[in-house]
Chain A
Amino acid sequence: MKDNRYEQLIADLRSDYRPQREWGEGRGILMVIGHFLVGVAGGTWLMASIYGVIYGLMVAYVLAALGALVHLMFLGRPERAIKMMRHVRTSWISRGFVGLTLFLIGGGIYLAITLLGLTGIWRALAVAANVMAGIGTIAIIGYMGFCYTASKAIPFWHSPLHPAIYIAFAIRGGIAALLVIGAASGQLASDWLLQMWTGVTALVTLFFALEIQGALSSGNIAAKWSVRDLLAGRLAFSFYGGTLLLGLIVPVLLLTNSASNSPVVMAILGVASVSGDFFMKLSTVKAGVYVPLFSPARRSHAS
């Protein structure tokens, strides 16, 4: 009986550069979608809290709930998901799961009290719940990059800039979501929000350029291969088309357009920006390759 997955595995093991296929391919795409949704949720909650946009908080909560659902769909045994909080000492996934749980509980209570307009003792509970959601927000914005960076087996991911990129993407996603929400509710985005989008986008671009430069200049052969895949290999289409064109060039062109303050343009800008973020995450996750098994430099004596 022939099984393509394992034929693929054998072919990967024989080749020099084994791409990771667990996250980003087949059912693994759910992991990327989950991370994307949760990241945008965290950024949106943060930005909506700063701006005091209740719709933003609601959208953030829905996105986080969807993200949690997608994560559960990815798991082989979703009914055991509660056990994922057991290893917070070493596992970033575990820390993220705790953060997401805090966010969903705290955010849910805060939104319920706020939307129902409860007063008195309920307000004190709302403040406590908001603090809980805030801690959860920090955790869900921060943990994702570390999930990848912790994997020494994949040199391209194992970069100190990777968590910073994910944090910046979450904030950029949050700003983009506020732009869309503002457009939907007929409100124009403030100049400060647009300036912030520009600043965070510049930061993301800088971080990514530095990561690429680091991989090319001081990374090992697998890291260099990942960059090659991304810029001129199997992922070039999704990188140039999705990340660069949709996520950077289109929003910048819209921003420099004279009609950039119209709600429709703001909405398109937000959607393009957040779509580009998804392709960025998908491309970098799929670009991960392992160091070759048949490596000439592999000698260490028993201790």
Chain B
Amino acid sequence: MRLGMVIDLKRCMGCYGCQMSCKAENGTPPGVFFARVIKREEGTYPTMRRKLLPVLCNHCTDAPCVKACPTGASHYAENGIVDIDQDMCVGCHACMVACPYNNRYFNDERRNYFGDEGPTPYEMERSERHPVGVVMKCNFCRPRLAEGKDPACVANCPAKARIFGDLADPNSDVSVLIKDRGGYTLHPEAGTSPNVYYLPE
């Protein structure tokens, strides 16, 4: 099994639902978004348009972050998921430099959303998942997968723009969509074999 995700850019409306559900699920510190929607305006008036690009860790089959990691903290978990063993990470940033997609974050200090008021009980509970001095990233919500659920960003996308499944199965929804709609990956020239695909607008 090779788990992967397809993001339909035709369906995505840039609502940030994936971003916020990811944050709620993972309790990431301020400014850290394992799933993000990048918006950019292209062209000039009157032919300009807004482009959306939802991004997350690409869980590459040939992940440069795994190769660059000196400790083995970045590793392939079950079903091709790329994850970080936080007890092994030394915080050298090598994986962050190696990632062509900028989808890793370094947690350099304990931060909370309400500054001097201190962390909320929710933040206190969730911050235990993110030790200081190590790198963190999306892991396709492994705890949810273990419970038989989809990743939070997939489950909460109101436009159903995110589809999750087994890329190794040619009959799975994700494989069929990629084949029928011409799914592509970001930076194929980097040779990383990403497992997150995009369907054109």
Contact = CB atoms under 8 A, between A and B. Distances in A.
Chain A complexes with chain B: yes
B68 A93 contact: yes
Interface size class for chain A?
35 or more
A84 B92 contact: yes
Given A1-B113, A151-B64, A295-B187, A77 B91 contact: yes
B70 A300 contact: no
B188 A22 contact: no
B133 A77 contact: yes
A301 B182 contact: yes
Given A9-B102, A10-B36, A295-B186, 9 more contacts: A1-B30, A5-B31, A28-B93, A90-B68, A94-B70, A151-B68, A153-B100, A293-B55, A301-B179
Contacts of A31: 93
B185 A300 contact: yes
A294 B187 CA distance: 10
Nearest to B100: A153
Contact of B71 (A22, A83, A299): A83
Contacts of B191: 152
B90 A294 contact: no
B31 A22 contact: no
B126 interface: no
B186 A298 contact: yes
Given A153-B98, A291-B187, A1 B114 contact: yes
Interface of B: 30-32, 36, 38-40, 42, 51, 53, 55, 64, 66-72, 88-94, 96-102, 106-108, 111-115, 132-135, 167, 175, 178-179, 182-193, 197
A282 to B, nearest CB: 15
30 contacts: A20-B97, A23-B93, A75-B90, A75-B133, A76-B90, A76-B91, A77-B90, A77-B133, A78-B90, A80-B71, A80-B90, A83-B88, A85-B70, A87-B69, A87-B71, A90-B67, A91-B68, A91-B69, A91-B94, A92-B68, A93-B68, A150-B98, A151-B97, A151-B98, A152-B98, A153-B99, A153-B190, A295-B186, A299-B182, A302-B175
A71 B98 CA distance: 18
A74 interface: yes
Contacts of A301: 178-179, 182-184
Contacts of B67: 90-91, 150
Interface stretch (A11-19, A187-195, A239-247): A11-19
B53 A293 contact: yes
B31 A3 contact: yes
A212 interface: no
A298 B185 contact: yes
A153 B64 contact: yes
B188 A299 contact: yes
Contact of B179 (A91, A94, A290, A302): A302
Interface in A179-232: 220
Interface in A261-303: 288, 290-291, 293-295, 297-303
A300 B100 CA distance: 16
Nearest to B51: A294
Contact of A87 (B40, B42, B72): B72
A27 interface: yes
Contact of B97 (A75, A91, A154): A154
A112 interface: no
B132 A76 contact: yes
Interface in A1-54: 1, 3, 5-7, 9-10, 12-14, 18, 20, 22-23, 27-28, 31
A81 interface: yes
Contact of A83 (B90, B97, B106, B188): B90
Interface in A137-191: 147, 150-154
A97 interface: yes
Contacts of A77: 89-91, 133-134
Contacts of A3: 30-31, 111
Given A14-B40, A93-B94, A294-B40, A152 B69 contact: no
A234 interface: no
